[in-house]
Structure 1
Amino acid sequence: MPFFAYKGRDGRGELLQGVLEGADSGAVADQLFGSGVTPLEISVTKRRATSGSAGSSSVGWRERLFEKKVTSMDVQLFSRQIYTLLKSGVPIMRGLAGLQESAISTSFARIIKDLRESLDAGRELSIAMGRYPAVFTPFYLSMVKVGEMTGRLEEVFLRLFDHLEFDRDMRERVKTALRYPTFVVIAMVLAMVVVNIFVIPKFASVFQSFGAELPLMTRVLLTTSQFTIAWWPALAGVTVASIVGFKAWNRTVNGRLVWDRVKLRLPVAGKIIHKGTMARFARSFALSLRSGVPIVQALTVVSQTADNAYLSSRIDQMRDGVERGESILRTSSAANVFTPIVLQMIAVGEETGSIDDLMDEIALMYEREVDYELKTLSSQIEPILITFLGVMVLILALGIFLPIWDLGQAALHPK
C-alpha cells in the first residue's frame, strides 16, 4: 500500500506530522481520526522508513549493510520491557532512554532513539512507530493506537507481547509439522527428476533397438522430460514473472482483498488464520469497550488490528451497521465470519450489557481452538501427503515398471 505524509492537530491543538501507510487518503484520514488527530493535509509520499532507516543518516552504508536486522524477537522483548516499565510507573521517555542503552541490536537502538525524539517533538507513539513499517506491523500500530485512546498502554503492550509469543510459537509448530512432509515431497520430486532424465531415456533407446513402442505413461514422462530440458529457461522466466506479478497484484487493494479471502479457504491453514485473526479482534474489541471507547469508534480502530483485508472489511461492515442503529448481533450475523456459538455469546453479552466480558471469552475460545488445530496439524496433513505420494508412486510405477514388463516380450518378438 502507498504511504501518505500528513499534517494534523491533536486534541490539545498541537501540530503533528508524520507518515502513515494506507489504501488511500480516506483510509489514512480514518486512522488519524481514530487516534484523535484532525488531519489538515494528506499527500502521497515515498516510503519513509524501513528497519533502521530513519534517524540513521550518520551511520555509513557499510555499517548498515552488515548490521543485524531488527527481528520479531527484538520487538517482542521491547513490548515486554516497556510494559514492565510503564506498570512500574516509570515515565515513557525515561523508559525508552533505558531501553535504548540496553538494546543489543544497534539498529533497534536507533529506532528507539528516534521514537524518543518523536515523542519529545509532540508526536504520538503510534505515529512515531508508523515510520518503521518493516519493524512494527499494522496490527502492532493499531493496538498501540487502542492503548493511547483508552489510556491502557501498558495493558496493550502486554497483549502485544502475548500475541507475538503466541505467533512465534505457532510458526514454530507449523515448521515442525511441515518438516517431514517437506522432506518427503522434495525426495519424491528429486526421484521424478532422476527417473525422467536418466532412467526413462535408457528405456527409450533399448525399446528403439528392438523396434518396439514404449507404453503410454512412459512416453508421457519422456515427452515431459524432453520439454523441460529444452525449455527450462522459458519455464524459469515464466515462474519468476508469475511470482513478481503475484506480489505486485497482492499489493493492490483488490488483490489483497481477494487473496486474503482465498487464504481463509485453504484446506488446513485457512481455519488457523481465521480463528487467530478473530481472536485478536475479540481481544482488542473487549479492551476498547472496557476502556469506555464508543462502539463505532472501537470497531473503526479494531478493524485495523485484523491482518486480513477480507476480515477487516467484514468488521467495517459491522461498524456501518452499528452506525445505522442495528444491534451488534445483527451486524455480526450479517458479517458471516462468526460461528453460531460465538453469535449466541454475543447475543447474551449484548442482552446483559457485558459484551466486553463475552468478547474476552470469545477470544479465549478462539485461542484454544487455534492451539488444538496446531496440535493436530500433523494428523491433518497426513491424508493430503499420503494422497500426493500415492499419485507420485502410481506415476513412477506406470512409467518405469510397465516398460520393464514389456521389455521381455519385445526382446522375444522384435519387429
Structure 2
Amino acid sequence: MPEFIYKALNGSGEPVEGAVHANNRDEAQNLLHARSLFVEKLSQNVFSASRKIRVSDKEFLGFTKQLASLLRAGMPLVESIAIARKRGHSKAFGAVLEDLEAKLKDGAAMAEVCSRYPEVFDEIFLSNVRTAEKGGGLYQALCEYQSYLSRRIAFQSTLKKAIAYPVFLIFTLVVVLGFLFVFIVPSFSELFDSFNAELPYATRLVLGLAETFPIVAGGLVLAAFSLAGFLKLTKERVSLRQRLDGLKLRIPVAGWIIQQSRYAQISRNMSTMVTSGMPLVAALESLADSFGKTFSGPQLHAIREQVMEGVPLHKAMLEQNLMSEQAVMLIEAGESAGDLSGMLSEVADYYETELTDRLDVILSLFEPALMLIIGFVVGGIIVSMYLPIFYLAEVVK
C-alpha cells in the first residue's frame, strides 16, 4: 500500500509530521482529517509502492504480547493499540499500527483493516481475530496466536543454530584459502623462480591453483549473481519456480531437511487455522497460496479440491504423497476422533522432533569431518610451499 508523507497542524496549531498508508491521495487526506489534522503538505513516498513492509516475527510477537497485556488489564482496544504503537516498533510497522488505530476509531473491524496489510498480518492472525470478533475474547485469540508464533520462532531458531557453525567453518575455509592464494603463495612463487630447478608436484599443483584462483573466484561470483538474477526474473513464473523447488528437494541431506521443515510448517499452520475456527477447505486454500511457488503448492491445491468433493483429508494427502504414512495415520486418527487440529499439532511435533534429532546426528559427524578437511587442505598448502626449501637443504648437505 502506498505511503504518503505529510506536514500538518494539529488541533492546538502545533506542526506535526509523519506518514500514513492509503490507497490514494484522497484517502490519505480523509484519514488525516479524521485525526483532526490540517494538512499543509502531502506527497507520496515514491519508494513505498514497490517496497514491502517487513516486520520480523520477534517484533510482531512483542506487539501481540503488549496488546494482550493491555487488553487483560481492561483497556479498550483502540487505546491499547495506541499505547502498543509507541513502544519501540519500526517506523514502517508504527505507520501500519497508526493506520489501524485511525480506522478502528472510524468504526472499522480490526480483521478488515489488518487484511489490507497481508505482508504484516498473516492469515492465521486474521483467522484468530475474525473468530474473536464473532464470539468475543480477543485476548484469548491473541494468546493462542502467541503460542503458535513462539513455537515457530523457536523451531526456526533451532534450524539456524544447527547450520550456523558449519556455514561459519565453510566461510572460514574460503577466507583462508583466498588469503593464502592471493598473498602467501605468490610470494613463494617469486622465490621459487630463482631456484632454476624442477619443483615437487605438490608445489606445482598449488602454484597452478593460485594462478587460476582469481579466474575461478570471479567465475563463482559471476555465477552467484547470475543465479540470483535468474531467480529474481523468474519470481512470478510459478511453474518454473515449482520445478526448481522440486530439484532442490532432490539434493541429498539438504533436500530432506527442507522437506521435513516444510511439512512441519504446513501441519503447524493447518492446526492453528483449524483451531481458530477456519474451515478446513479455507485453511487448505490459504496454505496452497502460501506455498504456491513450491513443489508442495500443486499438492495442496489438489488436496483442497478432493476435500471439497468429500474425500477425507488423510486419503487426499496419501494420494498426493504429501507427508509420510505415519503422519497420515495420525491425521486419520484425528479425523476419526473429531480432533483434527490436535493431531495436526502432533504431526508438527513429530516432524520438528525428527528433524532436530536427525540434524544433531548429521552435524555431530559433519563438523569434525569439516575440521579435518580444513586442516588437511590448509596444512597441505603450507607443506607444499616448504617442500622445495627442504629439498634444497638436502642438496646443500
Residues 180/279 of structure 1: CA separation in 2 closer, same or farther (3 Å cut): same
**1:347-401 Cα shifts (integer Å, max 9, x gaps):** 233344x1xx143133134235425644774543232333334444443444442
Instruction: Give the match for residue 105 of structure 1.
Output: 89
Distance in 2, Cα, partners of 1:294 & 1:131: 21
> Secondary structure of the residue that 1:346 maps to in structure 2?
helix
- The code of the aligned residue for 1:386 comes to P
> Secondary structure of the residue that 1:257 maps to in structure 2?
helix
Do the aligned partners of 1:275 and 1:367 also contact (CA within 8 Å) in 2? no
In the alignment, structure 1 residue 197 sits paired with structure 2 residue 164: no
> How far does residue 308 in structure 1 lie from its aligned partner after superposition?
7.2
Aligned identity (percent) is: 18
> How far does residue 114 in structure 1 lie from its aligned partner after superposition?
0.9
Distance in 2, Cα, partners of 1:380 & 1:111: 43
**1:303-359 Cα shifts (integer Å, max 9, x gaps):** 44659743343222111112233232220102212222222222233344x1xx143
- The code of the aligned residue for 1:75 comes to F
> How far does residue 119 in structure 1 lie from its aligned partner after superposition?
4.6
In the alignment, structure 1 residue 277 sits paired with structure 2 residue 272: no
Instruction: Give the match for residue 154 of structure 2.
Output: 169
Instruction: Give the match for residue 359 of structure 1.
Output: 341
Residues 385/405 of structure 1: CA separation in 2 closer, same or farther (3 Å cut): same
Instruction: Give the match for residue 16 of structure 2.
Output: none
Residues 349/189 of structure 1: CA separation in 2 closer, same or farther (3 Å cut): closer
Instruction: Give the match for residue 36 of structure 2.
Output: none
TM-score after normalising by structure 2: 0.69
Instruction: Give the match for residue 308 of structure 2.
Output: 323
| 1:263-302 equivalence runs, <5 A | 267=253, 269-270=257-258, 273-287=261-275, 291=277, 294-302=279-287
- The code of the aligned residue for 2:311 comes to E
Instruction: Give the match for residue 224 of structure 1.
Output: 209
- The code of the aligned residue for 2:102 comes to E
**1:53-95 Cα shifts (integer Å, max 9, x gaps):** 616986998xx9xxxx854333112223444566788764454
Choose from 173, 181, 197 the match for 1:212.
197
Distance in 1, Cα, partners of 2:20 & 2:294: 27
Cα RMSD of the aligned pairs, angstroms, is 4.2
Q: How many residues align?
A: 352
Do the aligned partners of 1:203 and 1:403 also contact (CA within 8 Å) in 2? yes
Residues 158/218 of structure 1: CA separation in 2 closer, same or farther (3 Å cut): farther
Bigger shift: residues 71-80 or 177-186: 177-186
Q: Which has the higher contact order (CA 8 A, sep 6+)?
A: 1
Residues 252/381 of structure 1: CA separation in 2 closer, same or farther (3 Å cut): farther
Do the aligned partners of 1:264 and 1:274 also contact (CA within 8 Å) in 2? no
> How far does residue 277 in structure 1 lie from its aligned partner after superposition?
0.8
TM-score after normalising by structure 1: 0.67
Residues 160/260 of structure 1: CA separation in 2 closer, same or farther (3 Å cut): farther
Residues 406/224 of structure 1: CA separation in 2 closer, same or farther (3 Å cut): closer
Bigger shift: residues 197-206 or 371-380: 371-380
| 1:332-343 equivalence runs, <5 A | 332-343=317-328
Residues 264/234 of structure 1: CA separation in 2 closer, same or farther (3 Å cut): closer
- The code of the aligned residue for 1:210 comes to F
Do the aligned partners of 1:218 and 1:403 also contact (CA within 8 Å) in 2? yes
**Unaligned ranges ≥5, structure 2:** 5-18, 23-27, 29-40, 49-53
Distance in 2, Cα, partners of 1:186 & 1:375: 25
> Secondary structure of the residue that 1:337 maps to in structure 2?
coil
> Secondary structure of the residue that 2:120 maps to in structure 1?
coil
> Secondary structure of the residue that 1:135 maps to in structure 2?
coil
Distance in 2, Cα, partners of 1:124 & 1:224: 66
Do the aligned partners of 1:118 and 1:128 also contact (CA within 8 Å) in 2? yes
> How far does residue 144 in structure 1 lie from its aligned partner after superposition?
0.8
Distance in 2, Cα, partners of 1:387 & 1:111: 49
**1:192-249 Cα shifts (integer Å, max 9, x gaps):** 2232233333443444333334444544443333234468667645543433333343
- The code of the aligned residue for 1:363 comes to S
Distance in 1, Cα, partners of 2:83 & 2:391: 83
Distance in 1, Cα, partners of 2:55 & 2:279: 36
Do the aligned partners of 2:303 and 2:313 also contact (CA within 8 Å) in 1? yes
